[in-house]
Structure 1
Amino acid sequence: MKKKVLSSLAVFGAVFIMAGCSSSGASNDYITISKYEGVEVEAVDVPEITDESVENNIQKVLEGFAVLNDVDRVIQDGDVVTIDYATYVNGSKVDSETASANGYQLTIGNNSLYDGFDDNLIGRKKGESFSLNNTFSADYSDKSLAGQDALLEITITNVQEEELPDLTDEFVQTISQKSETVEEYRKEMRELLEENNDEYVKSELLESVWKKVLDNTEVKEYPEDSLEDEKQSFYEYYQSGADYYDMEFADFIDKYLGVTEDGFEEYAEEQAKSNVKEDLVVALICEKENIKLSEEEIEEAKVSLAEELGYESVEEMEKEAPEDAVQRYIMRDEVKEWLVEKCIQVKGY
């Protein structure tokens, strides 16, 4: 429901105006959908839930409650190490946030600075200082270091290891509202993984079925007003971003989209057509299949959507998104779920 929906859908209050009979395809003045009901998609492989996977997930929960204890020994895999470091290129210190830092904390094995960095720390102790040379990859995230031969000066300021709580009935009672014993918690974890599997399957099917229906759709003509409104909304969105960061529009889109102003025109056109096409598909399927929601269902869906998107209330959400746009979010989701119910999953499709 997070996809942007456009003004081309005529939603009034909570009711769509419906007509027509059901079929596997549909057409109107704007689009032709060759097939939408009963489309075939690749069957979703459901992850197997085993005793091992249950224990692995419980282990992750325990790790979330770990405490860090200082240790006086050589660094081992999994330790949490704090370092001060500076990076030099051609003898000059690089002052970017990635290149130099004091009190930088890392977990050995994650290689958070660059691949292979943590290997240089294993076997060393707190208080050691050392240098190492590295050639950063051409696609390294810090552009000031990408492709550069560099010298790193490093001092280890602290070494800690994680101490996990014991999995006991008492611990379970502090973290679960449902379970009181370890065995009950294992059952609860299995049920949670089953719920996650259901959500995963639903998410995968929503994406694949919707893509298939869009692939089956030919646009004969775009409603000009809707297309222009949508293009304008893209300009306003990125202009507000530029204003927020106190940047020129051209600089903002170059940084975040990698396009010039001329290129943005083409980008906005493509995105607008894509969004208008999706709106047209939703409207036509709703009309053909008499898909509609009551006012009460719309209001319930608004509450769920506001919560999903991180708003404190529906009113707060509708300050940023007009009510009709919110309703179009909801109807798009309703259509997708209808399509998933009608789809055919095929192994090895």
Structure 2
Amino acid sequence: MSANWEKQEGNQGVLTFDVSADEFDKALDQAFKKVVKDVEIPGFRKGKVPRKLFESRFGVESLYQDAVDIVLPDAYSKAVDETGIEPIEQPDVDIDQIEKGKDLIFKATVNVKPEVTLGDYKGLEVEEQSVEVTDQDVEDDIEQQREQQAELVVKEEGSIEQGDTAVIDFKGYADGEAFEGGEAQDFSLEIGSGQLVPGFEEALVGKQSGEETELQLTFPEDYHAENLAGKEAVFEVKIHDIKTKELPDLDDEFAKDVDENIETLDELREKKKEELQSQREQDAENQKRESLIQQATDNADVTIPDAMVETELDRMLQEFEQQLQSQGMTLDMYYQFSGQDKEALKDQMREDAQKRVKTNLTLEAVYYQENLEVTDEDVDKEIDKMASMYGTDADQLKQMLGGNTDALKEELKGTKSIEFLVDHSQTV
């Protein structure tokens, strides 16, 4: 076969390719064997009609479409490989020549991955981040641990304060009617958590256990339930109990509860400082990488095809659905809760999808511009790293990947490009 790629405006072009007359004849034979099974002509059993009689009755042209369906996928794939183009969506294929005994010629209009014009990506400047961990940072972290281990105890005296948890019944009304989702019994509400309508928690501050009250509130204009957005509402509230946090003593016993591998509070402080130091350094490195990626992407010039954005949006939707499933939700439940539909959610994600596509294209351009390489050793190291992360064996992980590491290699190309940006950057 022969194939020719003629680039046109933007990222579109025409791919011309052929199928030899012999291959086309073989495809016509296959098409006839498929079609003749359902052909009935008086004097012949179904499926036993001679080829010449079939063609004289129906014409050889009646076999063309089935023959084209047989040869086109493989011929197109080979033409793509031969010309080295990278299609980003299904082509629009026309038949330029089709005649028994002659080569079959196709012309396909194809949208391909766009070319990236790189701007500055070497010698980029990034601001140095402080990674210092102070004694106060350590104490703040330990205090968070105390908060997490705090017990809620009933407040025998006094009123509701910030940080308390109020156990309440409530029922909400808008336009005099109770609304869906506006009622609960024995609901534990931490004051200051922002769980309910703005103003709800603040209005309970100073109230007493056993008290009943009405709260006059207004839903925000951008409230997720459109039927309530901007509306005034009345909440009937009954306060059953007030609970306050009782923090554990800051001593060696507390330290042991936090980490069974240590014996004293001083050991806990030392270990926390090391952990915070490691985290600060990792965060600083991540910020550096993100800054360099963003700069290189901003400096690059590329026209992003809608097809690539749509593909990325589909990928982001899948990721979002997996996140929801881990929380026991589905996309349909989210749509109902948020008042959005699939298209509205995609529109909300579109800008991020465009950024992702441009970033990926930029990193790929850097990879090829600098002749970087992902080796088999790089792949093995990444598999070992992933196996350790998931608590499995490297060989088992390879089996899970089906022995195909191409997708992993593509991911590592981006990693190689990011490492190049970091190695050739300047800290200021």
- Establish whether TM, by shorter chain, passes 0.5: yes
Deviations 1:295-339 (CA, angstroms, capped at 9, x unpaired): 2432332454578799998469858xx842333223312321331
Unpaired runs of at least 5, structure 2: 1-84, 88-113, 322-329
Cα shift at 1:143? 3.1
Give the superposition deviation at 1:232. 4.9
1:340 match: 422
Cα deviation code 1:276-300 (max 9, x no counterpart): 5444433343344443344243233
Match of 1:257 in 2: 346
Distance 2:366 2:313 in 1: 26
The aligned residue for residue 281 of structure 1 is: 362
Superposed CA offset, 1:201-252 (max 9, x none):
1121111110111122223x88x9xx857745645875996xx75699xx84
Aligned to 2:156: 72
1:45–1:274 Cα change, 3 Å: closer
SS of corresponding position for 1:257: helix
Listed as ranges, the matches of 1:118-267 within 5 Å are 118-176=201-259, 178-219=261-302, 231-232=310-311, 234=313, 245=331, 252-258=341-347
Per-residue deviation, 1:60? 0.2
Corresponding letter in the other structure for 1:168:
D
Aligned residue for 1:61? 145
Task: Give the Cα–Cα distance (whole angstroms) in 2 for the partners of residues 286 and 178 of structure 1.
Answer: 45
**Is the contact made by 1:70 and 1:160 (CA closer than 8 Å) also made in structure 2?**
yes
Residues in 1 aligned to 2:142 and 2:257: alpha-carbon distance in whole angstroms: 14
Whether 1:40 aligns to 2:125 is yes
Deviates more, 1:29-38 or 1:273-282: 273-282
Structure 1 residue 140 displacement after superposition: 2.8
Structure 1 residues 82, 47: closer, same or farther in 2, change over 3 A?
Answer: farther
**AA matched with 2:133:** I
Q: Per-residue deviation at 1:168? A: 2.1
Q: Once the two structures are aligned, what percentage of the paired residues are identical?
A: 27
Work out whether residues 36 and 213 of structure 1, in 8 Å CA contact, stay in contact via their aligned partners in 2: yes
- For residues 246 and 152 of structure 1, do their structure 2 counterparts lie closer, same or farther at Cα, with a shift above 3 Å needed? closer
Matching residue within 82, 87, 90 for 2:167: 82
Structure 1 residue 8: Cα displacement = 5.8
Distance in 2 (CA, whole Å) between partners of 1:83 and 1:158 is: 7
CA distance in 1, matches of 2:386, 2:271: 27
Q: Which residue of 2 aligns with 1:17?
A: none
Which whole-Å CA distance do the structure 1 matches of 2:391 and 2:201 have between them? 37
Residue 245 and residue 216 in structure 1: after superposition, are their counterparts in 2 closer, same or farther (change >3 A)?
closer
| Residues 160 and 293 of structure 1, relative CA distance in 2, 3 Å threshold | same
**Is the 8 Å Cα contact of residues 217 and 232 (structure 2) preserved in structure 1?**
yes
Preserved CA contact (<8 Å) 2:199 2:217: no
Distance 2:252 2:310 in 1: 58
Change (3 A) 1:150 1:232: closer
Partner of 2:186: 103
1:126 aligns to what SS in structure 2?
coil
Deviations 1:143-167 (A, max 9, x none): 3322011111001122211122222
Gaps of 5+ in 1: 1-6, 10-28
CA separation in 1, counterparts of 2:119 and 2:397?
37
The answer to whether the 8 Å contact 1:318/1:326 transfers is no
| Cα distance in 2 between the residues matched to 1:137 and 1:213 | 39
Tell me the secondary structure at the aligned position of residue 122 of structure 2.
coil
The equivalent residue for 2:48 is none
1:78/1:109 contact within 8 Å kept: yes
Query: Residue 256 of structure 1 aligns to which amino acid in structure 2?
Result: L
The structure with higher relative contact order (CA 8 Å, sep 6+) is: 1
Contact 2:173 2:235 (8 Å CA) reproduced: yes
Structure 2 residue 408 is matched with structure 1 residue 326:
yes
Contact 2:117 2:300 in 1 (8 A): yes
Please report how far the alpha carbon of residue 61 of structure 1 lies from its aligned counterpart in structure 2 after TM superposition.
Answer: 0.8
Residues in 2 aligned to 1:91 and 1:106: alpha-carbon distance in whole angstroms? 25
TM-score, normalised with respect to structure 2: 0.59
Partner secondary structure for residue 68 of structure 1: strand
SS at match of 1:100: strand
Q: Is structure 2 residue 381 aligned with structure 1 residue 300?
A: yes
Report the AA paired with residue 57 of structure 1.
D
* Counterpart for residue 14 of structure 1: none
- TM-score, normalised via structure 1 length: 0.71
Residues 228 and 110 of structure 1: CA distance in aligned 2, closer, same or farther (over 3 Å): closer
After the TM superposition, which of the residue ranges 288-297 and 302-311 deviates more from structure 2? 302-311
